[in-house]
């Protein structure tokens, strides 16, 4: 029976501080009277926005974790896709657990080296927000904390001295790496976030503890960080905001996940979940800094047994972006980061127990780096508009209203008003019931420089379709021409030589109206397109009013001599891209490609890097003067003049290639649980011989600790051997195993399966009682229990709660006899070979676990398989146990020109396969964990660079059959996605060391 929760929490908090001894004083005292002066003048701010080198900027950012894509040469690919959205920034976490697998040994090279990420960001034209923690959450194992912190007695994320000491080495090293990449040193880093969501705490832990936050910031300063500190309160609560005293940051920010993570019901938008107090909270909490949302919902995580990330992408889809993101614009956000923009993969056990291998997150860029979700295109429209609208940065958000600006109370309008009539104002229009599916008619009353106008003037009403929102502009500057108003939305406007191009869009079939400045002696004329429009001019002003209906064909109007207006439906606008011409101040507008990466001029040649997933007509607006040749992906391409654009026909034919049939490979098999065979020698295994534990989360129940992290095993499958001398009276084994939600475990007596726990997505531990009378132990005979426990990763951590310390493995046991006595058990245990002295330095401390094949390194290419039995995972094993299968195959793909996504696809049918757990290794990298009875993931993308697209590849599968009858994999394929002719940079193979005999392997 557990003690009352409040008592446990109180005792835990007191003990954490009592035992938190170290080389520092018991209290960290700061003289806050010595306020620091700004350490640099490149990144500054006022109440409106950030300035970079004196230029006011809107920070539109997306979250990427380079550690979730362990192919550094692919980082530029993803970053260019972010830049193409209209973003100018990326935020990134750093996972401490991957860099300091052993206390005091910091290692950040190979795939963990951040310098290539910094270089790629600069090349793509992106700023960076660095978020090194030390705690990051991020759905990473331990929230980014290394497992050895379970042996730190002080409360984590507090000022406990031993915890602070434990962070020093990591923070000194990682912050020095980041400091070298600051904008002040010619790099892309402009902001640093200390800690993460420092918001809610154990009620018996001092909170908010400014001395703790100040300590973290001082660690960064000592390493050379001079850019501003920004926070990310988990909610808009004002913690550590400027003016709060010790531990205050420079710029206050908060997070927002208004729809939560209910991917089971992707169409449900609960009442009152649209934030409506962001602006008022900001004015109370941090009115002198830019309004900053450092994490806003870009998708959703999904747990074991969940619904899959395609459904999560439907929860946070293009409609969500239209309503929620524009609502944030209405609150005046000018530092804005979406979590995630690209999720990546929880390869190599780096994820926490609440998630599976994929970290797709339902984000705009899919795990396989494709951009086929509509939400990518919608976000491009929104981000490009905001970056094209400098007046937004200094306009003032007002109060929402259902009557001042709209004639229909079912429509809510929030104004963002200019400070003078010469500047632009913005009006965010949405349904009053934000989740409404209705199509609602309305008219607007808008204050303009020409007086208050009711629009539309030439038609009766406007319409807002369900789950939509619009940003209406007034007095909007279009390269020196005034757009008096537009009820349809602006995508962008660009000055190209002597011509201004303005692109406006609306939903197909929607009637809209604009009024634009033009010379009085000129009429508006249609240049191209078959759709109809109505136009009138004012006798008292130089504005033309155009009433039009969005149509897939679209049309182009010319206003005066030098202004061209494209009026498009939304789906057509999706195909347009705005890209800078390198080393100039000019921009191109390009219609047609799947993606536009960059543009540059070399002598009389225009070079465009772009991606195509089909044959396409490419229209280029702003073809530079003096340029006579066009090269797309280094191929010279013929152009011809068509209306206002230069047009090129890009014809592609899908490349011819094959991928191997995995079922036809020559599979090799070896038993990966030899521990249950008679005579197995475990003399080299570590002994469970610690008579106490430093783990303050779970008090010790048994004579010795069998907590895995007490012995340096923090990742992957754990294996235990429990020896006992029988009395002949043994009746019941009670065993408590814990591996995190979704875990499984199996127990053998000698070579007989006693029982397996097959797991639940809601259960992180299992306490079982097992009848052991069946084997009929003879008095004096020696026997052994073999216990296999799946470690799903370490829990994330709250402030002072120490959830990350929840131990893994065996937590308690008793072998009871009929004589009311207990038979002693002597335990040995193993995880990955060497534990914290992990053997595979290239793939890092978390990639492999404790199964026999992993300890021997047989998951690595070049393993000595010649003498192994020929046997396929599609045949499987007929008894409970663990099998390891391996095979090799060659690929010969045209990857220099084509981006071809590949994935390993498993068919899941537990009725025919049995219940099993499996791991997928590709060239030694663990890129898949399969739970046949829990799911949901069955398809595992593996990027080029891990896979050798032009050479030999080695694949390994561990198959753990949990029940009598064994298990098999019903079907297993390597599948390819749609090839994309690409302008990306060449992908380099990562260092994937091959097998060699491991010293001390058992």
CA atoms within 13 A on the CB side of 38: 11
Tokens, residue 38: 């700004």
For β-strands 718-725 and 645-650, DSSP reports them as: unpaired
Q: Helix (H, G, I), strand (E, B), or coil: what is residue 522?
A: coil
- Contact indicator for 73, 326 with CB cutoff of 8 Å: no
For β-strands 595-602 and 587-591, DSSP reports them as: unpaired
Tokens, residue 490: 């602006």
For β-strands 127-133 and 189-194, DSSP reports them as: parallel
- Segment holding 955, helix H or strand E: strand 950-961
For β-strands 425-431 and 411-417, DSSP reports them as: antiparallel
Q: How far is 886 from 897, CA to CA, in rounded Å?
A: 30
DSSP annotation string for 184-215: GGTSSEEEEEESS----B-TTS--S-HHHHHH
Q: How far is 63 from 60, CA to CA, in rounded Å?
A: 11
Residue of 197, 314, 796, 944 marked active site:
197
DSSP annotation string for 646-689: EEEEE---PPP-----GGGS--EEEES-GGGSTT---TTSPB--
Residue of 63, 139, 295, 619 marked active site:
295
Active site residue 197: yes
Contacts of residue 451, Cβ cutoff 8 Å, sequence gap at least 6:
none
CA atoms within 13 A on the CB side of 258: 25
Q: Which of 158, 164, 72, 167 is nearest to 121 (CA)?
A: 72
The arrangement of strands across the sheet holding 645-650 comes to 576-580, 587-591, 616-621, 645-650, 640-642
| φ/ψ of residue 172, rounded to 5 | -65, -40
For β-strands 555-559 and 587-591, DSSP reports them as: unpaired
Residue 898: CB atoms within 10 Å: 18
Q: Each residue of 750-770: b (16+ CB within 10 Å) or e?
A: beebbbbbbbbbeebbbeeeb
User: Please, what sign has the CA dihedral across residues 658, 662, 667, 670?
Assistant: positive
CA distances from 459 to 210, 462, 466, 468, 537 (A): 59, 8, 21, 21, 15
Residue 501: CB atoms within 10 Å: 23
Q: Helix (H, G, I), strand (E, B), or coil: what is residue 527?
A: strand
Q: How far is 834 from 363, CA to CA, in rounded Å?
A: 37
Contacts of residue 5, Cβ cutoff 8 Å, sequence gap at least 6:
none
Active site residue 675: no
Q: How far is 431 from 324, CA to CA, in rounded Å?
A: 12
Tokens, residue 434: 């934000």
What is the phi-psi region of residue 32: left when phi exceeds 0, alpha when psi lies from -120 to 50, beta otherwise? alpha
* Beta strands in 246-364, from DSSP E residues, in sequence order: 253-256, 292-297, 335-342
Long-range contacts of 905-908 (CB under 8 A, 24+ apart): 905/938, 905/939, 905/940, 905/972, 905/973, 905/974, 905/975, 906/930, 906/938, 906/939, 906/940, 906/969, 906/971, 906/972, 907/938, 907/969, 907/970, 907/971, 907/972, 908/932, 908/935, 908/938, 908/970
Omega into 699 within 30° of 0, i.e. cis?
no
Q: How far is 200 from 449, CA to CA, in rounded Å?
A: 48
Catalytic residue set? 197, 295
């Amino acid at each position: 029976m557990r003690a009352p929760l409040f008592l446990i929490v109180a005792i835990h908090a007191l003990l954490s501080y009592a035992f938190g001894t170290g080389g520092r004083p018991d209290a960290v005292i700061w003289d806050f009277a010595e306020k620091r002066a700004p350490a640099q003048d490149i990144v500054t701010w006022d109440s409106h926005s950030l300035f970079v080198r004196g230029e006011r900027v809107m920070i539109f950012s997306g979250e990427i974790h380079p550690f979730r894509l362990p192919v550094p040469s692919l980082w530029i690919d993803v970053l260019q896709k972010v830049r193409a959205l209209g973003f100018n920034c990326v935020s990134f976490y750093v996972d401490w657990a991957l860099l300091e697998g052993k206390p005091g040994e910091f290692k950040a090279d190979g795939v963990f080296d951040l310098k290539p990420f910094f270089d790629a960001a600069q090349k793509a034209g992106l700023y960076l927000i660095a978020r090194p923690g030390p705690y990051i959450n991020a759905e990473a194992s331990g929230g980014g904390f290394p497992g050895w912190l379970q042996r730190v007695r002080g409360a984590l994320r507090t000022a406990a001295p031993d915890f602070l000491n434990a962070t020093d080495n990591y923070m000194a090293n990682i912050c020095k790496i980041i400091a070298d990449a600051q904008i002040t040193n010619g790099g892309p880093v402009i902001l640093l976030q200390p800690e993460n969501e420092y918001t809610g705490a154990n009620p018996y832990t001092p909170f908010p503890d400014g001395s703790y936050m100040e300590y973290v910031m001082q660690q960064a300063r000592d390493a050379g960080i001079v850019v501003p500190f920004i926070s990310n309160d988990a909610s808009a609560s004002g913690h550590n905001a400027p003016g709060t005293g010790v531990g205050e940051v420079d710029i206050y920010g908060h997070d927002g996940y208004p729809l939560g993570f209910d991917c089971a019901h992707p169409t449900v938008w609960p009442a009152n979940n649209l934030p409506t107090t962001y602006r008022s909270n900001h004015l109370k909490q941090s009115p002198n800094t830019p309004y900053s949302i450092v994490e806003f919902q870009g998708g959703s995580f999904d747990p074991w047994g969940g619904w899959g990330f395609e459904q999560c992408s439907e929860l946070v889809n293009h409609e969500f972006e239209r309503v929620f993101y524009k609502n944030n614009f209405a609150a005046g956000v000018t530092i804005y980061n979406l979590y995630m923009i690209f999720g990546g993969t929880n390869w190599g056990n780096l994820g926490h127990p609440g998630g599976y291998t994929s970290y797709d997150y339902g984000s705009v860029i899919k795990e396989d780096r494709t951009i086929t979700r509509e939400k990518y295109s919608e976000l491009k429209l929104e981000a490009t508009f905001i970056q094209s609208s400098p007046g937004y940065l200094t306009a003032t958000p007002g109060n929402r209203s259902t009557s001042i600006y709209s004639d229909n109370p079912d429509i809510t309008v929030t104004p963002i008003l200019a400070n003078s009539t010469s500047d632009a104002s913005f009006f965010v229009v949405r349904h009053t019931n934000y989740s409404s599916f209705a199509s609602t008619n309305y008219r607007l009353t808008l204050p303009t420089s020409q007086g208050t106008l009711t629009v539309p003037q030439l038609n009766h009403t406007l319409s807002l379709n369900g789950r939509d929102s619009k940003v209406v502009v007034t007095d909007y500057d279009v390269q020196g021409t005034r757009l008096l108003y537009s009820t349809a939305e602006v995508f962008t406007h660009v000055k190209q030589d002597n011509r201004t191009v303005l692109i406006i869009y609306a939903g197909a079939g929607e009637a809209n109206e604009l009024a634009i400045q033009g010379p009085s002696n000129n009429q508006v004329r249609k240049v191209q397109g078959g759709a109809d429009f109505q136009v009138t001019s004012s006798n008292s002003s130089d504005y033309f009013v155009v009433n039009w209906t969005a149509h897939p064909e679209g049309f182009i109007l010319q206003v005066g001599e030098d202004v061209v207006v494209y009026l498009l439906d939304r789906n057509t606008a999706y195909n347009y891209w705005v890209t800078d011409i390198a080393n100039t101040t000019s921009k191109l507008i390009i219609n047609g490609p799947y993606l536009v990466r960059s543009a540059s001029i070399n002598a009389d040649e225009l070079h465009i890097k772009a991606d195509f997933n089909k044959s396409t007509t490419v229209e280029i607006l702003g073809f530079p003067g003096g340029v006579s040749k066009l090269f797309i992906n280094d191929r010279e391409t013929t152009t011809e003049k068509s209306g206002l654009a230069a047009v090129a026909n890009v014809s592609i034919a899908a490349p011819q290639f094959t991928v191997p049939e995995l079922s036809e490979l020559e599979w090799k098999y070896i038993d990966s649980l030899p521990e249950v065979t008679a005579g197995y020698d475990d003399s080299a295994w570590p002994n469970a011989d610690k008579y106490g534990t430093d783990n303050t989360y779970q008090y010790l129940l048994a004579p010795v600790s069998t907590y895995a992290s007490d012995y340096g095993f923090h990742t992957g499958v754990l294996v235990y051997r429990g020896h006992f001398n029988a009395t002949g009276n043994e009746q019941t084994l009670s065993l408590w195993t814990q591996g995190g939600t979704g875990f499984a475990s199996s127990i053998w007596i000698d070579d007989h399966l006693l029982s397996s726990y097959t797991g639940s997505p809601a259960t992180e531990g299992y306490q079982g009682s097992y009848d052991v009378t069946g084997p009929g132990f003879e008095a004096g005979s020696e026997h052994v229990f073999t216990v296999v426990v799946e470690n799903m990763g370490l829990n994330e951590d709250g402030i002072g709660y120490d959830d990350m310390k929840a131990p893994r493995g065996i937590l308690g046991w008793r072998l009871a006899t009929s004589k009311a006595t207990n038979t002693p058990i002597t335990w040995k245990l193993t995880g990955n070979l060497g534990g914290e002295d992990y053997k595979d330095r290239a793939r890092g401390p978390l990639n492999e676990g404790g199964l026999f094949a992993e300890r021997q390194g047989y998951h690595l290419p070049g393993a000595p398989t010649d003498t192994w039995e020929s046997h396929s995972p599609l045949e499987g094993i007929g008894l409970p146990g663990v099998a390891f299968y391996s095979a090799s195959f060659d690929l010969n793909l045209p990857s220099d020109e084509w981006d071809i996504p590949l994935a390993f696809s498993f068919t899941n049918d537990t009725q025919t396969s049995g219940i099993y757990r499996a791991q997928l290794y590709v060239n030694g990298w663990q890129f898949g964990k399969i739970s046949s009875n829990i799911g949901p993931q069955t398809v595992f993308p593996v990027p080029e660079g891990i896979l050798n697209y032009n050479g030999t590849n080695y694949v390994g599968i561990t198959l753990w059959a949990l029940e009598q009858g064994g298990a098999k994999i019903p079907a297993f394929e390597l599948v390819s996605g749609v090839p994309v002719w690409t302008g990306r940079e060449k992908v380099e193979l990562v260092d994937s060391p091959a097998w060699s005999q491991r010293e001390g392997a058992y």
